[in-house]
Structure 1
Amino acid sequence: MLMTSHPLPAPAPLSIALVSEHASPLATLGGVDAGGQNVHVAQLAGGLADRGHHVTVYTRRDDPSLPVVAPLRPGVLVHHVPAGPPEPVPKDDLLPYMDAFGRYLARQWRTRPPDVVHSHFWMSGLATLRATRIAGLPFLHTYHALGTVKRRHQGAADTSPPTRIVHETDVGLGCDRIVATCRDEVEELAAMGIPRAKADIVPCGVDPVAFRPDGPAVPRGPHRHRLLHLGRLVPRKGAAVSVAALGRLPGTELVVAGGPPADRLGTDPEVRRLRALAEEAGVADRVRFTGAVPPAMVPVLMRGADVVLCPADYEPFGIVPLEAMACGRPVVASAVGGQLDSVADGVTGRLVPAGDAPLLAAAVRLLLADPALRARYGRAGRRRVLERFSWARVAAATERSYRAVVAAHAPLAGAL
């Protein structure tokens, strides 16, 4: 008798809660607390929705005019949580409001529980740990940055609450699974006493359609070459290193994108510091600050640059190198954190020691002198993004982690 096989039914869609207490996917990028995490949460939510799941992002209400629930895109809602004053609060000052945030989540999930919860950043994890213990839900966590690393690099300048590392350890031990973004993070967690085997490595991603080599680019100015430094204007991102390197690169301009809106640049302490450094180095006429840029303008800026600079003191992952590579632009980055995984040294760009302006300038100089090499690195970067770092791949890998946790949790839930 001829036996016929039938395809296995597709797994049922999941109801997914993403918790991102300070980094709303609706925020304008480039502010002090608005950067890669906002992009990550928004794009992961979209990628999961594209796979048929129902996603709600829980973020703190920081404006009284915000609705309780707002659509982000089909399949994704943003839920504004009333925790603390409905106004902007620096993320390092949000810890006192996490009890209220967690209680609110628990109340929401008592009546409409998601299938799985994925928190982002340690304070989100703290609120989620409390809420999921009450509601009995599967719980994964992504750190985005670790207090041990921040304290090591910033020392007394670290404004994190003093209990941050203790809370991060509690979250890592209390969650079902960690979704780490790079190998370096797993080693940091192991040093904190969190087993390596508890972490799945799923990198950040980039949209290869929005970020592509062809398309409009910002017109060139009077200088032969253009460098781009893009990201939050905080000291650890290394814009001062980019400015210092410019002094060794004649005929080149540096565009610094990020920070407050353009009409408030003059009042920003970091912009004032960078402008003073540029004056001191004699390059003030070759440094241009754009202020915060809307997401649609980021690839336009990328395509207008010869080289993209990412010289952070430390970088938990770093989406900017991926965006540059997707646009076919070579990257010169510091050899730290996630940039060790994303930038292939000598293939898609160059990795240099953090804080070393002369070596940064030397790497850039070689690229500016060789258009063919820039083009080769750009093509290789684009290939690398398509092979490893599209948000579709990131969402699929994240879903596998979700399914494993949900499956492991089911017998426990059934026993209660």
Structure 2
Amino acid sequence: MKIALIAEHTAPLAAHRGEPTCGDSVHVASLSRHLAKLGHRVAVYARKSTSDPVGRSRMGRGVHAEILAAGPDRPLGEHEEADHTGAFATALTGALKDDAPDVVHALGWTSGLAALSAVHGAGGLGDVPVVQTFHSLNATEQRAGLPERPERVRLEAAIAGRADAVAVSSADLRFELARMGLPRHRVAVVPFGVDTDHFSVEGGAATEPWSPRRQDRTRVITVSGLASGGPERLIESMVRLPDAELLVVAAAPLEVALDEDARRLELLAKEAGVDDRVHLMGPVERKELPRLLRSADIFVSADRYDPYGGAVLEAMACGLPVVARAAGGPTGAVLDRTTGLLVRSARPDTLARAVRGMMNEATTRSAHGIAGADRARSRFTWQRVAAETERVYRTALPGGHGLPLAAGDDAH
């Protein structure tokens, strides 16, 4: 099968090289590689936003990236992401006509707009099926306190209604689409994945940047965007956790010494009197991240909204118990009181209480870590994600019989 993965706002080549990138970039690079291992030929189409050249670049056996010129050669902010989708759709239409696929798979709502335009617009591909994946919906983001974007809500509903098949990363998103009027049987739950060959309990642990005066301190780690809200809450919670130290690893490329958010967090830690127990570091290459995770005792996800849950899955695969806010991707990844704790609120006192409970119960903490690693290996491997995605493709092809109700239902 020839598969066209449409991922407008991603950096697939950077993710393929193991550089720090966004969750969608990790998804498209990992999924394409494992679809190719199943015998498919995969082309990833993305807008040029990095120094990677326009045109075709090989990503591995059976996989290549097509970088299309559309708008400025830089990452776009959230409120300008749709501004250049028309230009991207035009470039995509020409590229797909030159190398017609059997199925088109769009990741994210702007990619969905471009894919539907390229397939069904003037001079399009006609009857090639379009599969749409959502890792997030603005309706669910609003429930987590993020801004309302009415136009995006309307477009997400329209894209879901026009696609031949829809996949979402959690049961919560399937429920939200049902509220929008999309029948439950038309939506498959296919979760985000984790490379359990790379992220595992086996291997060494990093010694830095933890304090050499650790003594009996519990090591708490988070991998997060510095503007996501999570680091602030965790730093404030450290006032209530005098026997713990915190490592905040930036999820996006930045220079800590020059970054405004990093300076703000450092000032917050100093004002709270915990700067000797709080460490900030820039993004870590993926080949080094498992050693850093294995050096910690507890992983915490306190972001306002995490659509992917990828960092949580990577921590679980490395054997860490998890404390996570019950919003977005972590709700499908973490089994409450089995692989960690889900908290409804990410207030500093709530986080401190959850972390302190784990600190005081070494046996429970160990059991959560073991269960989390087992769950990552059994449910969230990219091999399984690719196989479930392939099932969705086959139901969307001519002669398919719709999505089986069982597709992804065991995501929890």
Separation of aligned partners in 1, 2:90 and 2:294: 45
Of 175, 188, 194 in structure 1, the residue corresponding to residue 182 of structure 2 is 194
Report the CA distance shift for 1:254/1:212 in structure 2 as closer, same or farther (over 3 A).
same
What residue ranges of structure 2 are gaps of 5+ in the alignment? Answer: 402-412
- Find 2:87's aligned residue among 86, 96, 100: 100
Provide the residue aligned with 2:173 in structure 1. 185
Unaligned runs of at least 5 residues, structure 1: 1-13, 411-416
| Distance in 2, Cα, partners of 1:359 & 1:87 | 38
- Between Structure 1 and Structure 2, the one with more helix by share is 1
Normalising by the residue count of structure 2, what TM-score does the alignment of the two structures yield? 0.89
Q: Which of 69, 78, 87 matches 2:74? A: 87
Say whether the 8 Å CA contact 2:140–2:173 is kept in structure 1: no
1:242 and 2:230 matched = no
Question: Within 5 A, what are the aligned runs for 1:66-145?
Answer: 66-133=53-120, 134-136=124-126, 137-145=128-136
Asked whether the equivalents of residues 54 and 69 of structure 2 are also in contact (C-alpha less than 8 Å), the reply is no
Q: CA deviation at 1:207?
A: 0.9
| Aligned pairs, number | 390
TM-score, length basis structure 1: 0.88
SS of the aligned residue for 2:366 comes to helix
Q: Give aligned-pair identity as a percent.
A: 37
Specify the alignment match of 1:228 in structure 2: 221
- Structure 2 CA distance, aligned partners of 1:132 and 1:80? 18
Written as runs of structure 1 = structure 2, the 5 A alignment for 1:9-408 is: 14-27=1-14, 34-63=21-50, 66-133=53-120, 134-136=124-126, 137-154=128-145, 163-219=151-207, 220-221=210-211, 222-223=213-214, 224-236=217-229, 238-259=230-251, 261=253, 264-408=255-399
- Shifted more, 63-72 versus 283-292: the winner is 63-72
Q: Provide the C-alpha distance between the structure 2 equivalents of 1:315 and 1:250, rounded to a whole number of angstroms.
A: 27
Name the CA distance, whole Å, in 1 between partners of 2:388 and 2:75: 33
Provide Cα deviations, 1:288-329, integer angstroms capped at 9, x if missing partner.
111121111221211111000012222333111111111111
Q: Do the aligned residues in 2 keep the contact of 1:227 with 1:306 (CA within 8 Å)?
A: yes
Contact conserved, 1:307 with 1:329, CA < 8 A, in 2? yes
Whole-angstrom CA distance in 1 between matches of 2:226 and 2:105: 28
- Superposed CA RMSD: 2.1
Between the aligned partners of 2:65 and 2:19, the Cα distance in structure 1 is 20
Say if 2:13 and 2:52, in contact at 8 Å, map to a contact too: no
Distance 1:30 1:194 in 2: 37
Distance 1:252 1:60 in 2: 43
- Letter of the 1:234 counterpart: A
**Is the Cα contact below 8 Å between 2:224 and 2:303 reproduced in 1?**
no
Change (3 A) 1:193 1:277: farther
Paired residues of 1:18 and 1:119 also in contact (CA < 8 A): yes
Q: Secondary structure of the equivalent of 2:234?
A: helix
Q: Does the aligned pair in 2 maintain the 1:312–1:354 contact within 8 Å?
A: no
Per-residue CA deviations over 1:192-223 (Å, capped at 9, x if unaligned) read 23222221011111111100011121114322
Q: 1:261, CA displacement in angstroms?
A: 4.9
Q: How far off is 1:409 after superposition?
A: 6.8
